[in-house]
Amino acid sequence: MISNISSRAGTKLSRNVIIFAIVMIVNVVVIILLTPIGFETRPQSDLKPLGYLAITTIFVGLALDIASIGLLFKRVRVRLASSLAIVSSVFFFLIIFVDRTGAFFSVPIPPAINTLEYLLIAVLIVTLFIASVVYRGSKPASSK
């Protein structure tokens, strides 16, 4: 059973935390596919001034997602990891919404990016749900 997977330290990962880690990895993969490394074909010369803010927000959100994954594997900062995932998911919802308005580029959204943005919306909804479940199920870190 998935919930019986043990770490080297002897602590067990809950099923929700494992699902959360998988969803976060899928989240990062889809975000990378939305960049020029993936399927983004719009030239940088068509980027509007607000687009530079979007690029910064994408990198901040991606960094939060990667930090969240790293904290999940530490196994002691699950609550912080879920909080970071919630914040980054909100960032990406905002980015997708503003991209739909045409505020980032002077050219239309390519079909591949359009499809990936819809996929990312679904992944972000799952991320928000699982992150909130993990957050509510985790204990606050004790201050020493």
Radius of gyration of the chain (CA): 17
Model confidence over 36-65: pLDDT tens digits?
Answer: 999 999 999 999 999 999 999 999 999 999
Residues 6+ away with beta carbon under 8 Å from 85 = 20, 24, 27, 64, 65, 68, 127, 131
**CB 62, CB 28: distance < 8 Å:** yes
pTM: 0.87
Q: Which two tokens stand for residue 77?
A: 């900062």
The domain locations on the chain are 61-138
pLDDT for 9-37, tens place per residue? 446 778 999 999 999 999 999 999 999 99
pLDDT tens-digit readout, 59-71: 999 999 999 999 9
The amino acid present at 140, given as its one-letter code, is P
The answer to whether 81 and 71 are in contact (CB under 8 A) is: yes
Residue with tokens 């909130």: 132
